[in-house]
Amino acid sequence: MKTENNTREELEGVIALKLLPGKSLDEFCEQHFDNYNRDQFEAIVFRVYAGAELIVTLYALDKVRQEGNTFDKNKLPVKKFKSTTIKFTDMLPFLEDFNFTVSPGNYPLEDIEVMNR
């Protein structure tokens, strides 16, 4: 959203998380989401919202339902897991590092050329 002076109130971008060797998203999900098990589910979207509270949402492919015919074949059948009890510190033992880049969106990042190398 733009304000009166043409600046953005939101910054958008991408984030990358690198898990520690030997750790997996499945392991994290099994520890922190009730009824998640890697035999039935495959984590495909992991969302973290931090605002008035921390909300962690997981969308996991339901491998059992994927083999059925009770859903649109052009869609992925997923189960939504949601938690407001996970803390950011619960994620740290799984992370080697994380990196994010955000921008107000005034210019495409792919058009930027760094001149002071």
pLDDT digits (tens, 9 = 90+) for 55-65: 999 999 988 87
Confidence band for 76, pLDDT divided at 50, 70 and 90: confident
Which CA distances in Å does 18 have to 29, 45, 100?
16, 15, 12
Q: Specify the amino acid at residue 12.
A: E
* CA atoms of 88 and 39, how far apart (whole Å): 26
pTM over 0.85: no
CB 54 within 8 A of CB 48: yes
